[in-house]
Amino acid sequence: MKTIKRMMDHLYWADGRILDALAESGTKDKDLLKLVRHVAVAERVWLSRLQGKGSAQYSLWEETEDLTELRTMFEENAEHYRVYIEGLGESELDEMIDYASLNGAPFQTSVRDILSQVLLHGQYHRGQINRALRMESAEPVQVDYITFARL
């Protein structure tokens, strides 16, 4: 549990740093902002599944121009994940969760693997976001785990 909690702390930190970099860049790139929103919504989708709720109400690929709204989404995600993880015991990490994908296909995945997916998915897309910032001649932000660990 200690490792997962630490990795989730990194996720919250890295999400915040990416949002700060986007705000500083002043980007209006709709595809880039759609990607950032995708990360926030995907975090919500997986949390809903972990909580035994449906996720069909979420749309992963909508456009947005509102960084304030995105920041609120990420902050709410962090708050809800913290509560969820604090109530989670080590033995529960291997419990299987039944859920449906957004297209309705049934799946069963362990809590541990779902949390790993959330962590890795966000890091993958933060790399894409940083690359897009660089292509706009904006300054990418360091979001590597080791940078977080050195704080």
Query: Is 80 annotated as a binding-site member?
Result: no
The answer to whether the CB of 97 falls within 8 A of the CB of 109 is: yes
> What are φ and ψ of residue 16, in 5° steps?
-65, -40
First to last CA, the chain: 21
Distances (CA, A) of 86 to 57, 71, 74, 78: 26, 22, 18, 12
Is position 125 annotated in a ligand binding site? yes
Q: Would the annotation count 10 as a binding residue? A: no
Which residues are annotated binding-site positions?
A: 38, 121, 125
* Sequence ranges of the binding site for a divalent metal cation: 38, 121, 125
